[in-house]
Amino acid sequence: MTENNETEGLTENSTATTVSPAFEQAQLVVGKLRERINAELVGQEAVVDQVLIALLSNGHVLVEGVPGLGKTLLVRLLANCFDGEFKRIQFTPDLMPADITGHVLYDMNESKFRLRKGPVFTNLLLADEINRAPAKTQAALLEVMQERQVTLEGSAKELPSPFMVLATQNPIEQEGTYPLPEAQLDRFLVKVLIDYPSQDDEIKLTKFVTTGFVDDQDAFKDDKPILKPEQVSQLQKIVADIVVDDQVVDYAVRLVRATRGTTSLLRGAGTRACIGLIRCARAHALLRGANFVLPDDVKALALPVLRHRVALSAEMEIDGFSVDQVLTKIFSGVDAPRL
């Protein structure tokens, strides 16, 4: 546990029109988070920013990438940054819903029922290879991700705050996997794609890990946390107060609605995408050091927020187009406001 309170002074009443001391302190803390994670997850700055944006927006993240690019490491590094609970679930075909949420069992010695809480009762939950479990098991996270509670034997149990699910999946391996249902996908605020780092970054990372460390994991030892869980909640409140002009909200809604009126997509994004886009734009504004949202903040997060909420038409899939390519073309036809 760290002695220094990095977010001391963060308050719920940070002003939106002028930069308050609380906002300045929030910028400082977020800057330290970015610096800490980027120092060890080399060459993935955009990925780190998108995950931090989801954390600041009180949302969940689906991380997709081939094995060996640091998906699990990213989650662990984030967990090391704040003094909260972190738990991991390895999704497998035989995983049962009760293995995630917990269950009520009868204690014969004391002649009463006892609650065994599952791993979802934590602050950060890593759902590793989430698409390896069948739909019945995946569905155990629906209530958890939306209402942030678990219903056991008719009684609702609140989860700790803050609560964030970070799920990973492999995009190329299909054998033994189960596609995530639409309702599950829609509960993720953003879908983050991890790609291969540049050659220079790969050289830097390889030299770092293979110099003086016997095992790869030795290079990423736990550091002292920067934040306490309650301070994460304070950061989220500050982000929620960032000013958004009505024209920017209109722009975000028009981007989402544009996905519904095209033959290139079989399914467009729903209203939850509009809400998520504005929340992420606020957090993006904080990362660039501003307490107001610009249309560029919305556009920067449009792909991560929307790419998992739409479905390509059969013609686009046959022609070899990706979801990102189709969405980028759609967004280019939506005029941004001039503020």
CATH code 1.10.8.80 region(s) in the chain: 242-339
Q: Return d(Cα 116, Cα 106) in angstroms, integer.
A: 10
Cβ–Cβ < 8 Å for 104, 115: yes
- Residue 292's beta-bridge partner residues? 243
Q: What's the pLDDT band for 216 if we cut at 50, 70, 90?
A: low
Percentage of the chain lying above the pLDDT 70 cut: 89
Q: Return d(Cα 25, Cα 20) in angstroms, integer.
A: 9
Q: What's the pLDDT band for 6 if we cut at 50, 70, 90?
A: very low
* CA-based end-to-end distance of the chain: 44
* Domain 1-241, CATH among 3.40.50.720, 3.40.50.2300, 3.40.50.300, 3.30.1490.440: 3.40.50.300
Q: Return d(Cα 63, Cα 7) in angstroms, integer.
A: 28
Q: Provide CATH code, domain 242-339.
A: 1.10.8.80
Closest residue by Cα to residue 193 from 303, 104, 89 = 303
- Residue 191's beta-bridge partner residues? 62
Greater pLDDT, 17 or 276: 276
| Average pLDDT estimate for 133-158 | 89
Is residue 3's pLDDT more than 70?
A: no
- pLDDT of 278: 97
pTM for the model: 0.86
How many C-beta neighbours within 10 Å does residue 15 have? 12
CATH code 3.40.50.300 region(s) in the chain: 1-241
Cβ–Cβ < 8 Å for 295, 339: yes
Residue 263 three-state SS: coil
**DSSP result, 205-234:** HHHHHTSS-SSGGGGG-----SB-HHHHHH
